[in-house]
Amino acid sequence: MHICLLSFDLDSTFLAPDKSVTLRVKEVIGLLRERGIEPVPTTERTYQTLFDRLLGMSDFRYVVAPSTSACAGQHAGRSTS
């Protein structure tokens, strides 16, 4: 079986206590992509806060945000419910 998507929680999993993304986490995200696995953050946060202020990593293609009941494609500029 080939894994093509990996969804993960942010707080206490992906983010450091100061809400930053460590170099190691960025490296792991890069390795996932190299293997054809799409990293997808799952959060209660708003999409805009997630990418612009919190992560500082605007290169995620998708995010699952239950508060919006959508999986948003950043590069497509739209949400898919």
Domain assignments of the chain as residue spans, ordered by start: 5-80
Q: Which residue has the higher pLDDT, 81 or 57?
A: 57
pLDDT tens, 4-54? 999 888 777 778 888 778 888 889 989 999 999 999 888 777 766 666 655
Q: Note whether 70 and 81 are within 8 A (CB).
A: yes
Q: Which residue has the higher pLDDT, 57 or 25?
A: 25
CATH architecture entry for 5-80: 3-Layer(aba) Sandwich (3.40)
pTM, rounded to two decimals: 0.66
Q: Report the SS3 class of residue 24.
A: helix
What pLDDT, on the 0 to 100 scale, is given for residue 37? 94
The CA distance from 34 to 17, in Å, is 27
CA 75-70-47 angle, to 5 degrees, is 55
Reported confidence tier of residue 55, pLDDT bands at 50, 70, 90: low
